[in-house]
Structure 1
Amino acid sequence: MMNHVTFAFDTNRFETGHAGLAPMTATLMPLGKIGSLEARLATSEAEIEAAQKLRFSVFYEELGATRQTAHRLDQRDADRFDSICDHLLVFDTALPGPSANQIVGCYRLLRQETADATGGFYSADEFEFNTLVARHPTLNFLELGRSCVLPAYRSKRTIELLWQAIWAYVKHHGIDVMAGCASFHGTIPAAHAEALSFLAHHCTGEGDWAVRAVAERFAPMDLMPAEAINAKAALAAMPPLVKGYLRLGAKFGEGCVIDHDFGTTDVFVVLPVSAISERYITYYGGGA
């Protein structure tokens, strides 16, 4: 999607957080904790570099992303957005060594005020995200992306921990809407025909919440008629992240985008905080 850009970190920002960011980002206090796993925001350049290496390990070495040579040379997945985003990290505190060696998962968070000041949202390259935001001038958006967890930690427990931490972040910053890309592995939408068709027929945002893939990258998702879909099979075929969004009440954009660099088929997720069931707010809020 986005070209690799070399950037320099301002080490001073880890003392006070990003521009405009509350001191929450500079603390080591976990935003969520389950057993030996803790989730908090990155507080050092070393932790962000470790997250980039983790992303490289999963996206490039495991899943076969084929972007630029520069990524392979420094063994990091990095772009210009890393220097402006908050990085939510999952640590296994039972592992030895410094905190950077304990990172087993990551998520990248970009708040609307930062995106507005620095050139927009990452997902706008694939979906008409800016149109959606403009339609809701009184709401505060948060883009979530670059979700990545090591194979040994891909469990319900890790997903629940991430949602604990995201909920704490959402409440702290007064976020009204969470949005961003989620991915199906592979570049052939037909391989996910039932799951994509289920989203297209039953989970597409409407009215003010409608959003489309950009015209030049639009690929249809309604690959099967609604009556031919086995809902149980479709849900079972969803990536865990997509299933998690569905449980919380998310809607999806119209059309998907094939990302040949990452070898994925991307869908757009829209989750207004007001749509989240009270039982999930109680569940995740209680542990955050």
Structure 2
Amino acid sequence: MKQTPPDTLEIGAILADAGFSSLAGQILGRMGSLIVRIADNPDTIRIAQKLRYDVFYTELGAQKSQNTILEERDSDHYDAICDHLVVYDTSISGGEAEQLVGTYRLMRSDMLAAGHTFYSAGEYEITKLLERKPGLQFLELGRSCVKPEYRSKRTVELLWQGIWSYCRQHRIEVMFGCASFHGTVPEAHALPLSFLHHNCRADAEWDVRALEQHYRSMDIVPQEAINPKVALFSMPPLIKGYLRLGAMIGDGAVVDHQFGTTDVLIVLPVERISSRYINYYGAEADRFV
């Protein structure tokens, strides 16, 4: 259930709090005319929410609440405590609303007030993972979206430049979050889901199971019947990008009827990221942090 978003003054007050990212407003990456940074004011967050609305609701057909229809923004109570990574195309004339072409929502474990938990905990047993790994700094990645004409490898790499700069600054040790297949019938994605189940499952140290009431098996096709090339070809680019970095997949899929998706849980300890990507993104991060 969506909750009424905080007003501009509330967002502004939280952004001004000393616990928020010291990277707010700073450029974290650049590729040609594209730049990525952390939102540093309520208006930018509202523009990012409008982009999310355009992608999730208008383009992909998520179910709209009354507030969503009135506001024409995708928003919830987590937005006020999260950092918002935003991508701009500086070659576009006009204001910020025209230039902002992509966004990612970032929530660190030290942003959570006592007794509160991450967004993904509504689908997966995140609390159990946190209890097994006390003292680690977790980062939840979510609400990723990019304008259709910017859905390219270059934009994805720029987003990861920004994320890696952010991780370096905040000493993130584990990244995680839900990634989605379009549609609410897991069997329609039997091949890629089964590939993830058989080949990419998290080991016992990092495994996280879907909540029992939401659990849908990903073991749909026997391993011997899976063509890996076909499975990877039919997988969403975001999930393939996570796998390249060394991510693992949690136990079970979850159907999100509001957003019209079938979700899987991504778990990525920073120590598992391959040296190839550490060197690549680390070199870029050194330029901006």
Normalising by the smaller structure, the TM-score range is: over 0.9
Letter in 2 for 1:193: A
1:229 paired with 2:226, answer yes
Q: Secondary structure at the match of 1:89?
A: strand
For residue 21 of structure 1, report the CA deviation from its aligned partner: 2.6
1:129–1:215 Cα change, 3 Å: same
1:170 matched to 2:170? The reply is: no
Contact 2:2-2:75 within 8 A present in 1 as well: no
> In the alignment, which residue of structure 2 is the partner of 1:89?
86
Name the structure 2 match of 1:24: 23
Amino acid at match of 1:262: F
Letter matched to residue 117 of structure 2: G
Q: 1:34 aligns with which of 15, 18, 31?
A: 31
| Mapping for residues 13-92 of structure 1, pairs under 5 Å | 13-14=14-15, 16=16, 18-25=17-24, 28-92=25-89
Is the contact between residue 82 and residue 106 of structure 2 (CA under 8 Å) also seen in structure 1?
A: yes
C-alpha contact 1:176 1:272 (8 A) present in aligned 2: yes
* 2:256 paired residue number: 259
Secondary structure at the residue paired with 2:262? strand
What is the rounded CA distance, in whole Å, between the counterparts of 2:115 and 2:84 in structure 1?
17
User: Which secondary structure state, in structure 2, belongs to the residue aligned with residue 241 of structure 1?
Assistant: helix
Q: Structure 1 length as normaliser, TM-score?
A: 0.95
Distance 2:249 2:181 in 1: 13
Query: For residues 30 and 61 of structure 2, what CA distance do their matches in structure 1 show?
Result: 31
Verify: 1:207 aligned to 2:204, yes or no. yes
Match 1:133 to one of 107, 110, 130? 130
**Residue in structure 2 matched with residue 194 of structure 1 by the alignment:** 191
Deviation at 1:74, TM superposition (A): 1.3
Q: What CA distance in whole angstroms lies between the structure 1 residues aligned with 2:21 and 2:264?
A: 31
Give the CA RMSD over aligned residues. 1.3
CA spacing shift, 1:22–1:55, aligned 2, 3 Å: closer
Q: How far did residue 19 of structure 1 move?
A: 4.4
C-alpha deviation, 1:22, in angstroms: 4.3
Q: State the 1:287 CA deviation.
A: 1.9
Deviations 1:248-276 (A, max 9, x none): 00000010000000000000000000000
Counterpart Cα distance in 1 of 2:14 and 2:49: 18
Tell me, yes or no, if structure 1 residue 6 matches structure 2 residue 1: no
Unaligned runs of 5+ in 1: none
Tell me which amino acid in the other structure corresponds to 1:79: D
Note the alpha carbon deviations across 1:180-239, whole angstroms, 9 max, x for none: 100000000011100000000110101111100000000111110000000001111110
Q: Which amino acid aligns with 1:121?
A: F
Which secondary structure does the structure 1 equivalent of 2:239 belong to? helix
Q: Tell me if structure 1 keeps the 8 A contact 2:21–2:83.
A: no
What amino acid is the match of 1:149? V
- The Cα shift of 1:62 comes to 0.4
Does structure 1 retain, via aligned residues, the 8 Å contact 2:214–2:254? Answer: yes
Structure 1 residue ranges, 4+ long, deviating more than 3 angstroms after superposition: none
What is the aligned partner in structure 2 of residue 101 from structure 1? 98
Q: Distance in 2 between matches of 1:228 and 1:5?
A: 47
Residues 22 and 88 of structure 1, relative CA distance in 2, 3 Å threshold: closer
Partner AA of 2:109 in structure 1: Q
Separation in structure 2 between the aligned mates of residue 59 and residue 23 of structure 1, nearest angstrom? 29
TM-score by length of 2: 0.95
User: Using the alignment, how far apart are the partners of 1:97 and 1:215 within structure 2?
Assistant: 48
Q: Residues 22, 81 of structure 1: CA spacing in aligned structure 2 closer, same or farther, 3 A cutoff? A: closer
Contact 1:4 1:68 in 2 (8 A): no
Once residues 75 and 235 of structure 1 are traced to their aligned partners in structure 2, the CA distance between those partners, rounded to angstroms, is: 34
In 1, Cα distance between the equivalents of 2:50 and 2:115? 24
Task: Tell me how far apart the structure 1 counterparts of residues 105 and 115 of structure 2 sit (CA, whole Å).
Answer: 16
Conserved? CA contact 1:46–1:100, under 8 Å: no
